[in-house]
Amino acid sequence: ISVRKVILHHMVMTLKNPFTTSFGTFLDKEFFVIEMEDETGASGFGESVAFSSPWYSEETVETNKHIMGQFLIPLLLESPIEHPDEVSIRFKPIRRNNMAKSALENAVWDLYAKRNNNPLYKELGGVKQQIDVGISIGIQPTAKDLVHVIEEFVNEGYKRMKVKIKPGADYEMLKEVRRHFPDILLMADANSAYTLDDLDTLKKLDELNLMMIEQPLAHDDIIDHAKLQSVLATPICLDESIHSIEDARKAIELGSCKIINIKIGRVGGITESKKIHDYCSQQGIAVWCGGMLESGIGRAHNIALTTLPQFILPGDTASSSRYWEKDIIEPEVFVEKGVIHVPNKPGIGYDVNRQVLESFRVDKTVFSK
């Protein structure tokens, strides 16, 4: 594969509903669609998942543009590669900036699968024709609102409800949810809103039969999470703390978590995601695929990854209509009775709707050899 041209489509899409986490509220999503062409005229698409502000991690849309444009794209254009696994090796001299790396690597994976006339999920060794899907629900003003929203998604068939929590919007709200829905698969995501000083609150959550609690403590911690897991019955799932297979190994060895949320962007690409998947499979650690409020392009990569066998828990790959009035892919992602039927077309399996893409595009930068 000789990459000849990389186009960064700078996008701004308005979310259908504001999405509130412990660290802030998202009203829209700003990101890059990466379009890549090779010497044969084949093309591939990727999506950068960093947000406009460095709330979830240190990367932003602007840092992604800087790192891709100044460092990563020149490395890709420099000389051909044989396989997408070589992209992360080529990017190794650049420290971290995993979301920038991943956006480009994902486009290479799509391009590579299309050249081979093979669906991406098969290229990755995926084994599932359909995947189970849960939904992530932002912090609501009241418990009553939350119960309402959950009822709607239960009726739509989503297989697992994930509720965002923060101090003051946690135990009482979840207790109310549990009272209304004694049997649903329910979990909480704190996005690092607690410390070990909140042990009493966190321990009370054990009453609620949660599938897991995601990232209760600091975004860069695995030590305190191990302490917490040793006194908590509820499994801890790590999100923010895991950036690589090495992080996963250390967290598992320490007992910091029993489950890992794999986000392709956070770990620097599909190649690293597969490594973490394989390691967790050997260790008997369940994984699931997280989301970053992606458009359909990022979502398509998530769907392909989720077909790997150790993705045994429902992921955050909700329908396009959960996020957008109109998505930029065709067909849109559609969750039916809690499952997505994985498309069998070459590459990511969905077509990019050029007209819609251009309607949400605010800028375009072209890099070529």
| 164 carries an active-site annotation | yes
CB of 41 to ligand OSB, least distance (A): 33
Altogether, the residues listed in the chain come to a count of 369
Gyration radius from the chain CA atoms = 20
User: C-alpha distances in angstroms, 63 versus 91, 138, 279, 312, 359?
Assistant: 16, 26, 30, 34, 24
Judged by CB under 6 A, the residue of 43, 98, 136, 310 near ligand OSB is: 136
Q: What is residue 130's DSSP assignment?
A: E
Does the footprint of ligand OSB cover residue 316 (CB under 6 A)?
yes
189 is in an annotated binding site: yes
Query: How far apart (Å, rounded) are the C-alpha atoms in residues 118 and 123?
Result: 7
Query: How far apart (Å, rounded) are the C-alpha atoms in residues 132 and 93?
Result: 37
**Would you give the binding string for ligand OSB spanning residues 2-21, x where CB under 6 A is met?**
-------------------x
The kind and range of the H/E element at 298 are helix 296-306
Query: How far apart (Å, rounded) are the C-alpha atoms in residues 19 and 29?
Result: 11
C-beta of 110 vs 214, nearer to Mg ion: 214
Does the footprint of Mg ion cover residue 239 (CB under 5 A)?
yes
Does the footprint of Mg ion cover residue 189 (CB under 5 A)?
yes
Catalytic pick among 164, 227, 337, 364: 164
Does the footprint of ligand OSB cover residue 360 (CB under 6 A)?
no
Q: Which does 293 bind (CB under 5 to 8 A by kind): Mg ion, ligand OSB, none?
A: ligand OSB
- The separation between the first and the last C-alpha atoms of the chain, rounded to the nearest angstrom, is 14
Does the footprint of ligand OSB cover residue 292 (CB under 6 A)?
yes
Does the footprint of ligand OSB cover residue 191 (CB under 6 A)?
yes
| Sheet hosting strand 43-47, strand order edge to edge | 43-47, 24-38, 3-21, 361-368
Structure tokens at 124: 């990755």
CB of 327 to Mg ion, least distance (A): 22
Which candidate, 218, 236, 211, 213, places its Cα nearest to that of 226?
A: 236
Does the footprint of ligand OSB cover residue 47 (CB under 6 A)?
no
Catalytic pick among 65, 263, 274, 275: 263
| 274 carries an active-site annotation | no
Which residues are the active-site residues? Answer: 164, 263
Q: Which residues bind Mg ion (CB under 5 A)?
A: 189, 214, 239
Q: Which residues bind ligand OSB (CB under 6 A)?
A: 21, 56, 136, 189, 191, 239, 290-293, 316, 318
